[in-house]
Amino acid sequence: MDVYRQQLDAFDPAVAQAIAGEEHRQVDGIEMIPSENYTYPEVLAALGSVLTNKYSEGYPGRRYYGGQEFTDRIERIACERACALFRAEHANVQPLSGSPMNQAVYFAFLKPGDTVLAMDLSHGGHLTHGAPVSHMGKVFNFVRYKTAPQQGGTIDFDALRQLALEIRPQLVLCGYSSYPRDYDYASFKQIADEVGALTMADISHIGGLVAADVMRNPLDAGFDVVTTTTHKSLRGPRGGLILSKAAHAGAIDAAVFPGLQGGPHMNVIAGAAVTFKKAQEADFRRYAQATLDNAKALAAALMAEGAKLVTGGTDNHLMVLDTVASFGLDGRAAEEALDRVGITTNKQIIPDDPRPPLRPSGIRLGTPACTTRGMDPQAMGRLAGWIVRTLRRPDDGAGLAAIRAEVRALCRSHPVPGVSG
C-alpha cells in the first residue's frame, strides 16, 4: 500500500495532499457523528484490493460474466457469516449503500401507492423512510408516526396501533437515525400482525450493537426483513445488508439485482465478510458494550452541565442535544463552533423543529468512533465539559484555542486504527 501511496503522491499531489489532510483531521480530532466510525485495517486492505477490477453481475453460481471462482467464494462467505451473526435465514450483501438497500425492500413487497407506516423524519426517522423530499416518498404512501413528548419522547404504541388500524399499511417500518431510545420490536410486530402488514426494521445505526447482542435483534421478534449498513457501529465498509426470512429470499434478491443494481462492488463485499468475522469475536462484544456505556456517561455528563437532551438521555449509542434551548445557538452555529475545537458533530432537527433543516435546533452526538479509539467514560466527562464550554462561549478565541489543544492531546493518546497520522 505504501508503494501505491507513493505513486499517488508523485502523480496527483493535489488529491494525495487532500487525503493526507483528512488523515490528520481524523487523528487530531474527535469524531462524534454517530453514523461515522473507523474501519479495521484488514477492511481497508480488502477495499484497496484487485477485487475492485472485477464485474460480478448476478449471484454466486449464476453470474453473467466468467472468471467468478473467487468472487463467488467471497460472496458466499459474506452471506454465511451475516446469517450466523444476526441469526438470519437469508442475507443479501450486494446493496451499494443504505438508500438502495431500503429501496430494494420496498420494491420487493410493495406496489406504487401502497401504504407504509414509518417514523417521522424530525422525530428520529431517516430520509429513506419516505421523507416527502425523497423519491420513495413520491412512489409509495408513507404515513408517519411520531414520538410522544408526554411520555419522555418515546413511542406511544396505543396511538400507533390506532393509526395502523385506521390506515391498514402493507408494511410497518421500525428504524431511526436520531432516536436515542431502545426499540420495542415485539410491540411493532404485534400491531403489524393485527393489521396484516409485513415488518421491516432498519437497524443501520445499531447494527453492530445488535450483532454483539447488547441490543435487541428484531429477527428474534419475528420481523420479516432487517436492513443495516455495514459501517457505522459495525465498523465495516460503506455498504448495505438485507437480512430476511427464507421465504422472502427470492423477492429481495430480484429487487436488488436486476431490479435496482448491476454489478456489485466485490471489494466492499470482501470488506463486509471480514467485518462479519471481526464482529463474532469477544473483543467486538466488549467494544459494543463500551459504546453504550460511553453514550450513557456522555449523556449524564452533559445533563449535569445543564444541557437539554431530546428524550432526556439515551439507551443506545447516540443523543440529540437541543442547542437552542441549552445555549441559544442553532445547530449549524453549534456544529461550526465545535469544529473549531476539533469535535466533529452534525446539525440535527429535533421533534417538530420550527427551524429550517440547515439551521435546526440541535446537534447529534454519538460514541462509536471515540470508543473505537479506546476512550472511556472518564474521557466522556472531559468531552462533555469541552462541548459545554465551547457552546457557552463560541466566540472566545483564546478559550477555544485552549480547548483545541486539550482535544488534540487526548486524541494523540488514543490513536486511530490503521491510520498513521
Q: Which residues participate in the annotated binding site?
A: 121, 125-127
CATH code, 286-412: 3.90.1150.10
According to DSSP, the residues that pair with 202 across neighbouring strands are: 175, 227
Phi, psi angles (nearest 5°) of residue 222: 90, 15
Residues 224 and 198: beta-carbon distance below 8 Å: yes
- Catalytic site residue 373? no
**Confidence (pLDDT) at 128:** 81
Top pLDDT among 1 and 398 is at 398
Say how far apart CA 334 and CA 347 lie, in whole Å: 8
Collapsing DSSP states into helix, strand and coil, what is residue 415? coil
**Confidence (pLDDT) at 420:** 59
Residues 259 and 107: beta-carbon distance below 8 Å: yes
Helix residue ranges per DSSP H, 196-281:
207-211, 249-254, 266-278
Helix, strand and coil in the chain, % to nearest 5: 50, 15, 35
Say how far residue 3 (Cα) sits from the centre of its chain: 33
Q: What single-letter amino acid sits at 254?
A: A
* Cell representation of residue 284: 467486538
Give the pLDDT confidence of 312-349 residue by residue, as tens digits. 999 999 999 999 999 999 999 999 999 999 999 999 99
pLDDT above 90 covers what percent of the chain?
88
Say how far residue 93 (Cα) sits from the centre of its chain: 16
Check for a shared fold between 45-278 and 286-412.
Answer: no
* Cell representation of residue 241: 445488508
Residues 117 and 162: beta-carbon distance below 8 Å: no
**Confidence (pLDDT) at 178:** 86
Give the pLDDT confidence of 206-220 residue by residue, as tens digits. 999 999 999 999 999
Report the pLDDT averaged over residues 188-215: 97
Which residues, including other chains, have CB under 8 Å from residue 348's CB and lie 6 or more apart? Answer: 178, 320, 331, 360, 362, 363, 364
When mean pLDDT is compared across 51-60, 102-111, 143-152, 266-275, the lowest value belongs to 143-152
Collapsing DSSP states into helix, strand and coil, what is residue 175? strand
Q: Which helix (H) or strand (E) holds 380?
A: helix 377-392
* Options 229, 291, 345, 371, the catalytic residue: 229
Give the pLDDT confidence of 291-322 residue by residue, as tens digits. 999 999 999 999 999 999 999 999 999 999 99
Phi, psi angles (nearest 5°) of residue 363: -130, 160
Q: Would you say residue 132 has pLDDT above 90?
A: no
Confidence at 123, pLDDT banded by 50, 70, 90: confident
Confidence at 134, pLDDT banded by 50, 70, 90: confident
- Catalytic site residue 229? yes
Report the pLDDT averaged over residues 281-300: 98
* Options 238, 359, 392, 408, the catalytic residue: 238
CATH class of this structure's domain 45-278: alpha beta
Give the pLDDT confidence of 163-188 residue by residue, as tens digits. 999 999 999 999 888 889 888 999 99
> What is the pLDDT of the chain when averaged over all its residues?
95
**Confidence (pLDDT) at 197:** 98
* Options 36, 57, 156, 182, the catalytic residue: 57
| Cis preceding linkage at 258, omega within 30 | yes
pLDDT above 70 covers what percent of the chain?
99
Q: Would you say residue 287 has pLDDT above 90?
A: yes
Q: Which residue has the cell 438485507?
A: 242
Q: Would you say residue 421 has pLDDT above 60?
A: no
Confidence at 40, pLDDT banded by 50, 70, 90: very high
Ordered by start, the domain boundaries in the chain are: 45-278, 286-412
Say how far apart CA 369 and CA 365 lie, in whole Å: 11
Give the β-pairing of 171-175 and 198-202.
parallel
* Options 81, 144, 146, 232, the catalytic residue: 232
Between 185-195 and 157-167, two packed helices, what is the crossing angle to 10 degrees? 20
Say how far apart CA 203 and CA 176 lie, in whole Å: 7
* Options 55, 154, 213, 344, the catalytic residue: 55
Say how far apart CA 38 and CA 27 lie, in whole Å: 11
**Confidence (pLDDT) at 1:** 56
Q: Which residues participate in the annotated binding site for (6S)-5,6,7,8-tetrahydrofolate?
A: 121, 125-127
Q: Would you say residue 202 has pLDDT above 60?
A: yes
Collapsing DSSP states into helix, strand and coil, what is residue 313? coil
**Confidence (pLDDT) at 368:** 98
- Catalytic site residue 193? no
- Catalytic site residue 38? no
According to DSSP, the residues that pair with 363 across neighbouring strands are: 321, 347
Phi, psi angles (nearest 5°) of residue 364: -110, 135
- Catalytic site residue 202? yes
Give the pLDDT confidence of 357-392 residue by residue, as tens digits. 999 999 999 999 999 999 999 999 999 999 999 999
Q: Which helix (H) or strand (E) holds 287?
A: helix 282-304
Give the pLDDT confidence of 223-257 residue by residue, as tens digits. 999 999 999 999 999 999 999 999 999 999 999 99
Name the pTM for this structure: 0.95
**Confidence (pLDDT) at 226:** 98
**DSSP label at residue 358:** T
**Confidence (pLDDT) at 122:** 81
Q: Report the sign of the C-alpha dihedral through residues 136, 138, 142, 144, in that order.
A: positive
